[in-house]
Amino acid sequence: MVSRRAAALAAQPPAIAAAHFRAEAHPYHPRLRPGGYINLGTAENRLVWDLLAPRLTGPRPLSAADTHYAPLHGTDAFREQLARFLGGVCRTEVDPEHLVVVSGVTSALDVIASVLCDPGEAIVVPAPYYGAFDVDLVGRSGARLLPVPLSAGRNFQVTASEIGHALTRARERGVTVRAVALASPGNPVGHVHPPQVLREIAEVAGQHGVDVIVDEIYANSVFGGAPFVSFLDPEVRRAGTGRVHIVWGFAKDFGLPGFKIGVLCSPDPEVCAAARALAYFAATSTDTQAVLRDVLADRAWVARFLAESRRRLALSYASSVELLTAAGVPFVPVGAGFSLWVDLGAWLTAPTFAAEHALWERILEQACVNVLPGQLFASPDPGWFRICYATDLAVVTEGISRVVRLLGASEPRGDERAAVSSRPVGATRYESIED
């Protein structure tokens, strides 16, 4: 027997992880296993290892002090480098004392949710949202999520008014909301949110007396025309009256998800103190902190690395878009992140999440491609899938081609679908707003 709480957590293994490991067990190889699995489900940056390897495989100038007990929310030296780096990204001064380093952004989200919410209190999240929010923000904190469905007709762009309405409705229903959480840039829909929208969200959160949790893990993976603007940018914050807490990590921008280094940045001293107390349970390796401290210290290298990563992401994105467009598969054009939000609604046998799940299974079983169904991201409507392209171009091409071939074997049900959804169908209907 285990505790009720642990049993509940164990009963909901993160579906994203399960699909990932299944696909990774028998991976595609053009020569050795041409029918193997192609993993376009995991948002992992596999485009940059050649750049990283020289820095990570060489000798490590570790000292004895680097192996001893250190502040459990990150060593002073590492937080200083992080503060300087994030200050540049967010175009503001970042105090190392406002940073709490923990075991990946997963833990950073858990920590901030646990700091802000007692069990049963709520966090408003525009949907679709990063699927792991369901575990990260909820699993240990006991908070619950209130999704705000975004409109496909507006390309799933987040708006402050929809968040404001959700906060008002929650209050009317007697629900205590502690925060609004969103990814910026977006995930699964990689929008770069315009500063005006961020400002309005800060304002509406302030008016309702709730905090804002912003997952900026893709901050440096912006390749479209619109530049990234952090929620910490003075242009955004001057209007906001609510507290803002940012999370970031090395998993995406630096392609190092295994290193499990995430950071919470909160300018609120009480939140920081509480977060430090929780970081005690999710402390990170001083070994890995030391190597990343030295990486960040080489500012010129970091700038070159991030620029090259963005260049490669843009290429992979463009190729993926080309393949989808040629096949008549609709998607939302974006300017950041590792994934495309693709509308396969026309290929569902019925406009239901059961049919979406069936199509996901067909893609996994018959095409041996792991993409993730929209339901994992709390998609408001069935039929959307997240396809990641941040991997070798040949692999992405093979994967998308397989999906397209599978879809080609069944006619799209465009007319039928139009009757149950207000969304138009067609590859060109979504106008790019960021490219």
Least distance from a second copy to the Cβ atom of residue 365, Å: 22
Between CA 342 and CA 270 the distance in angstroms is: 42
Report whether the peptide linkage leading into residue 188 is cis, meaning its omega lies within 30 degrees of zero: yes
Least distance from a second copy to the Cβ atom of residue 243, Å: 9
Q: At what angle do helices 104-116 and 269-279 cross, to 10 degrees?
A: 130
Least distance from a second copy to the Cβ atom of residue 330, Å: 29
284 binds a second copy (CB under 8 A): yes
5 binds a second copy (CB under 8 A): yes
Least distance from a second copy to the Cβ atom of residue 58, Å: 6
260 binds a second copy (CB under 8 A): yes
Residues in the chain: 435
Is the CB of 188 or the CB of 412 nearer to a second copy? 188
| Interface mask toward a second copy for 81-110; x: CB under 8 A | ----------------------xx-xx--x
| Interface mask toward a second copy for 126-165; x: CB under 8 A | ---------xx--xxx------------------------
Between CA 283 and CA 54 the distance in angstroms is: 26
Strand-strand pairing, 384-388 and 372-373 = antiparallel
Stretch that binds a second copy, among 82-90, 112-120, 153-161, 220-228 (CB under 8 A): 112-120
Structure tokens that stand for 66 in this block? 């680097």
Between CA 71 and CA 90 the distance in angstroms is: 25
Among 28, 85, 114, 379, binds a second copy (CB under 8 A): 114
Structure tokens that stand for 25 in this block? 């067990």
Among 6, 307, 318, 394, binds a second copy (CB under 8 A): 6
Least distance from a second copy to the Cβ atom of residue 54, Å: 11
Q: Which residue has the tokens 């940073």?
A: 99
174 binds a second copy (CB under 8 A): no
Strands of the 384-388 sheet, one edge to the other: 331-332, 339-343, 384-388, 372-373
Is the CB of 225 or the CB of 280 nearer to a second copy? 280
Least distance from a second copy to the Cβ atom of residue 201, Å: 20
Instruction: Write out 262-321 in H/E/C secondary structure.
Output: EEEECCCHHHHHHHHHHHHHHCCCHHHHHHHHHHHHCHHHHHHHHHHHHHHHHHHHHHHH
Among 15, 51, 71, 87, binds a second copy (CB under 8 A): 71
- Contact positions with a second copy (CB under 8 A) in 32-51: 42, 44, 46, 49
Among 95, 287, 298, 322, binds a second copy (CB under 8 A): 287
225 binds a second copy (CB under 8 A): no
CA angle (302, 258, 290) in 5-degree steps:
50
| Interface mask toward a second copy for 306-325; x: CB under 8 A | --------------------
Q: What CA dihedral angle connects 402, 403, 406 and 407, to 10 degrees? A: -150
18 binds a second copy (CB under 8 A): no
Is the CB of 45 or the CB of 184 nearer to a second copy? 45
- Contact positions with a second copy (CB under 8 A) in 229-258: 255-258
Least distance from a second copy to the Cβ atom of residue 285, Å: 4
Q: Is 143 helix (H, G, I), strand (E, B) or coil?
A: coil
Cβ atoms of 214 and 231 within 8 Å: the answer is yes
Between CA 260 and CA 288 the distance in angstroms is: 9
